[in-house]
Amino acid sequence: MRHWALILVAGWIGGSAAGLRAADVGLIKINGAIGPATASYIARAIDLAGEREDACLIIELDTPGGSLESTKQIVQKFYASSVPTVVYVFPDGAWAASAGCFITLAADVAAMAPATSIGAAHPVSIGMGGEEKTSDVMKEKMENFASSYIASIAEKRGRNVEWAKSSVLTSQATNATAALELKVIDLIAKDLPDLLSQLDDREVGGRTLKTAGAEVVEIPMTTQERVLQLLSHPELMMIFMLVVIYGIIGELSNPGAILPGVVGAIALILVLYMSTILPVNLAGLALVAVAVILFIVDIYAPTHGVLTFGGIVAFFLGLLMLFNRADPAFRVSLAYIIPATLLTAAFFLFVVGAGLRAQFLPVRAGRETLFGKTVPALARIDAASGKVFVEGEYWNAVSEVPIEPGHPVEIVGINGLTLKVKPKQPPIT
């Protein structure tokens, strides 16, 4: 009986200690454009944190923006979450821009590191076209929708509604200190331990957070999520575009190679996917296409490099304009553009040019090479029979005009194993 009492007491003490221990805190890190992979990652992390009964889920955020559709999915997941969500703009120098501003305001707790920024949530047309091709009416519709949407988010979370609307309508942005004063965010934390300390005993959604001394458990991306997130980088899309050009043109200039065409086709599919989450500008794409055409035409046209020079200029400007220039976060560095332009020009001048010209060279092997050759007749050649010796072989030969032995003949046709010839000069009678 004494043993059972000791076991019960030990169990009660252990249970009490477990109840006093702070629950784990989930952590994920978002760095890059917001897209389908980001939405999937955040949704999975929220579900996992809920299953583990974590005290909260911290989302370290550093993004230039991204897809509005994916942003809506993330906001809706925040609203339905059973675990408190904390968006932490981190590390120093990070930026919660555009879609990142919506996501930060939608969290249960919005926090920033000291040297970070938030704002500039003006809608940018994501996908093929870019903001430059968007009509004034469509721009106005997008602005009205985005401003009302972010205002509803700010109102639901008790944050500064007017500032939220101005971040959309006038691209208002601010630093962490001003954001705290304007009640755009809830707190400023220098690092993760500081954040956990400030979150402790905070009331969120009717529950009190217990994060002091909690163990932070990072939820890593799956391989699929990591690959798809990698595809949100504009530099990578530019590289894939080059692979598409090199692969498809390489296949056309060297029919039967297969591998260049397959690689180019796969890269094309990836480019189409990436164009849905990046602000691609059609004018930039058009210039790249014009450049490719100029490179090919100059291979045949005797322009002394004028078209090639025009192609280099068009290609450079196309890459420079490939993404929406209104958002500096999506601009491709000249460190990528200049080498890509020079490499592409060299590719068309030497590789493609040589391949295309080779297709128009005369046949150098096979029976077709016999046409036009001049050889002496070995025996008398007439309409019924005759003999010639060509390239180490004896051939039967026929001619409409009788030809005596030793006279030169020109091969004008082949019928099976018999050559059709004609006298190279009038036969001697």
Nearest CA among 312, 295, 284 for reference residue 249: 295
Phi, psi of 22 (to 5 degrees): -65, 145
Nearest CA among 401, 389, 399 for reference residue 427: 401
pLDDT at 324: 64
pLDDT tens figures, 113-142:
999 999 988 775 444 444 444 456 667 777
Q: Cα torsion at 410, 411, 412, 413 (round to 10°)?
A: 160
> Residue ranges of the chain with pLDDT lower than 50?
1-2, 4-21, 125-134, 429
pLDDT tens figures, 138-154:
677 778 888 999 999 99
Q: Do 383 and 269 lie in a common domain? A: no
**Residue that is last in its domain, among 186, 204, 227:** 227
Nearest CA among 4, 11, 7, 71 for reference residue 39: 71
Residue 12: inside a domain, yes or no?
no
Q: Do 309 and 417 lie in a common domain? A: no
**Residue that is last in its domain, among 308, 338, 358:** 358
pLDDT at 245: 82
Number of domains the chain contains? 3
pLDDT at 330: 65
Q: Do 289 and 401 lie in a common domain? A: no
Q: Do 325 and 381 lie in a common domain? A: no
Phi, psi of 419 (to 5 degrees): -90, 140
Expressed as residue numbers, the domain containing 249 is: 233-358
Nearest CA among 292, 291, 290, 295 for reference residue 350: 295
pLDDT at 124: 59
Residue 407: inside a domain, yes or no?
yes
Neighbouring C-alpha atoms within 13 Å toward the C-beta of 131? 14
